[in-house]
Structure 1
Amino acid sequence: MKAWQATTLGEPGEVLQLAQVLEPTVGPGQLRVRVLAAALNFPDALMVRGQYQVRPEPPFTPGVEVCGEVLEVGPGVDPDRYHLGDRVVGTTAVPAGGLAEQCLMPAGGAFPSPPSWSDAQASCLTIGYQTAYVGLVRRAALQAGETLLVHAAAGGVGTAAVQVGKALGARVVGVVGGAAKAEVARAAGADVVVDRTEGDLVGSLREALGRGGADVVFDPVGGPSFEASTKVVAFEGRIVVVGFTSGTIPTPPLGHALVKNYSLVGLHWGLYLERNPAVARDAHARLLEMAASGVVEPVVSEQVPFADAPAALTRVASGRTTGRVVVLGA
């Protein structure tokens, strides 16, 4: 079968090579699926660079999130839960990742696909939306009527957080970098959008949030975005730390958190698949309900052919894309 493989570590556009490889062998607790679409994520690029916490040895096939058709069910998998031909969404078992004709999926990270969504849309449901839902509901306890501040609100996880926040009844303020991204965040449902490139971010946030500040902050960026958040978070507010796409991991001002009475909450969504998979199953069930009612729908900015996967992943890594970039099946 065809697969994009990182033959060495480096920039995706330079090190990914199209190869003919053997079909992956399904192991205990796994599914073998035909890849219908693969949604690209920033961790895919980090993995290829050797900068992610999961560091497979080259050669390996990246692509951590897919929509696929079940071809084989491995030993130890509940036969009543998965059937041949089922369309599923979820995470993959790198090194047999999703930028290939077939991949492996841990059964615990595979979920039913929304029936009305296209393959490209469905491929986007798991990582971004579950990160948003678990972060806002379980970790931050976001309540209807509260104000939610979302950084990188035009990105994949950011647009998901905007939509989930609105579905939960929050007022959503989104932060973006540029006029084009501002339009994407507004289309996703943000009530107010702040362009961080237009001047004083803290001043603009204070104006957008009002005296009460942000009850919940959803931050996949870190760096200056986190620092600005500490200045505008509300009394008893919650800052959910999701990632550090800025490349800078901030040092939490614990004395400031004490004085202002706010919480710093970390979220590593993937850990729930290992430690408490019921959380992920419950989140997916709720997200399916939201999908059926139309309150969440992935912002798919690009659908690219399989042959263009390296260039597409390079664009995702640059931070210039909006919404989700999806590689269609080979």
Structure 2
Amino acid sequence: MYTVLECVQLGVPDQALAFATRPRGPLPPGHVRVAVRAAGINFPDLLMLAGEYQHKPSLPFIPGFEAAGDIVEMAPDVMGWKLGQAVLVHCRTGAFAEELVAPDTSLLPKPAHYTYEQAAAFPVCASTAWAALVARGDLRSNERLLVLGAGGGTGLAAVALGHQLGARVIAVASTEEKRRAARQAGADFVLDSGKADWAMEVMNLTDQQGIDVVFDPVGGDAFHAAWKTVASNGRYLVIGFASGDRPSVPANRLLLRGASLIGVRAGEQLRRNPALEPLQRQSLAAWLASGKGRPLVSEVHPFNRAARAIARLGERQAVGKLILRIP
């Protein structure tokens, strides 16, 4: 038996979640069992608990999209991994548990220079940044990249990847602490989203040429401000709506700017185009091995305080990633 954190009803975390025990089952072919040491908390966890996320698993389900731990069992057909190996796991559900069963294709090796907490903070944000900037945004060296919500885990990953790709990165964040984190992640310029004229500052920084690629996990008023900065033939990447406001743009604005408005669903993108999966795995493994853009873990919470930790994301005060440490 092992302990899991289940969503037993939809709602806010302290009402939706309860601890339970589950028996170990047999491993399907191509799967491994991982003893989880740490699990990453993401904004979609909040949405999924509330029944507002695109993927709506049947109740009860175990939330959690990413984890780090050690392989303790492997199906007979699994090759290339070994018992006791430290790994990262990216999954649709199931990370908030003492043990996790996952296909071996969802694993990445944990570098020795990463802690388990840092490793658990990597898969979701890094894969989202890669899917957006590489697969969908086609960001190129010397292009201008604007990252909204740049102090959160996903925003910081986009800043780090944009910097690695050779882009000129402008980061927008709401507090000095978040702006400092974005600067350390590789942003060339950081702006205060609380200033009414930050979009004008963006245009000044680009010599009035505008932005080639916008990475937007925020939506709301930030969307309308950022849209004013999009250059001709620019790409606006819609990642999510952390503000809670899902904006719209009149079609004539797309026409006049010759711009593209692009929706990004990182996981769904791979499911629809499996040929991208090995390329992404190779890119993320290289990113991990390089040690560049290591995730910023600002808070580590014990497993028994999981509901409170998840609720923290809704307050929009956290910098970088929040992590659950699982004994």
- In the other structure, the counterpart of 1:81 is 80
Residue by residue over 1:178-235, the C-alpha shift from the partner in whole angstroms, topping out at 9 and shown as x without a partner, is 2222222222221111111122332233233331111111111122222222210111
Per the TM alignment, residue 38 of structure 1 is displaced from its structure 2 partner at its CA by: 0.3
Per the TM alignment, residue 293 of structure 1 is displaced from its structure 2 partner at its CA by: 2.8
Per the TM alignment, residue 176 of structure 1 is displaced from its structure 2 partner at its CA by: 0.8
Decide whether aligned partners of structure 1 residues 296 and 44 sit closer, same or farther in structure 2, where only a CA change above 3 A counts: same
Q: How does 1:1-330 map to 2 (within 5 A)?
A: 1-23=2-24, 25-74=26-75, 79-94=78-93, 97-330=94-327
**Which secondary structure state, in structure 2, belongs to the residue aligned with residue 212 of structure 1?**
coil
**Which secondary structure state, in structure 1, belongs to the residue aligned with residue 223 of structure 2?**
helix
- Letter of the structure 1 residue corresponding to residue 80 of structure 2: R
Per the TM alignment, residue 74 of structure 1 is displaced from its structure 2 partner at its CA by: 4.4
- Letter of the structure 2 residue corresponding to residue 173 of structure 1: I
- Letter of the structure 2 residue corresponding to residue 70 of structure 1: I
Per the TM alignment, residue 71 of structure 1 is displaced from its structure 2 partner at its CA by: 2.6
Does the aligned pair in 1 maintain the 2:64–2:92 contact within 8 Å?
A: no
Does the aligned pair in 2 maintain the 1:13–1:313 contact within 8 Å?
A: no
Decide whether aligned partners of structure 1 residues 148 and 93 sit closer, same or farther in structure 2, where only a CA change above 3 A counts: closer
**Which secondary structure state, in structure 2, belongs to the residue aligned with residue 197 of structure 1?**
coil
Per the TM alignment, residue 93 of structure 1 is displaced from its structure 2 partner at its CA by: 4.9
Identical counterparts, % of pairs: 38
Q: CA RMSD in A?
A: 2.0
- Letter of the structure 2 residue corresponding to residue 81 of structure 1: G
Decide whether aligned partners of structure 1 residues 278 and 31 sit closer, same or farther in structure 2, where only a CA change above 3 A counts: farther
Q: 2: distance between equivalents of 1:326 and 1:240?
A: 26
Does the aligned pair in 1 maintain the 2:203–2:209 contact within 8 Å?
A: no
Dislocated runs of 4+, deviation >6 Å: none
Decide whether aligned partners of structure 1 residues 247 and 18 sit closer, same or farther in structure 2, where only a CA change above 3 A counts: same
Does the aligned pair in 2 maintain the 1:148–1:172 contact within 8 Å?
A: yes
- Letter of the structure 1 residue corresponding to residue 159 of structure 2: V
- Letter of the structure 2 residue corresponding to residue 263 of structure 1: S
Q: 2: distance between equivalents of 1:93 and 1:28?
A: 18
Q: 2: distance between equivalents of 1:155 and 1:119?
A: 19
Residue by residue over 1:90-114, the C-alpha shift from the partner in whole angstroms, topping out at 9 and shown as x without a partner, is 22353xx111111222333222223
**Which secondary structure state, in structure 2, belongs to the residue aligned with residue 259 of structure 1?**
helix
Q: 1: distance between equivalents of 2:68 and 2:102?
A: 10
Per the TM alignment, residue 60 of structure 1 is displaced from its structure 2 partner at its CA by: 2.1
Structure 2, unmatched stretches of 5+, are none
Q: 1: distance between equivalents of 2:34 and 2:290?
A: 28
Does the aligned pair in 2 maintain the 1:61–1:100 contact within 8 Å?
A: yes
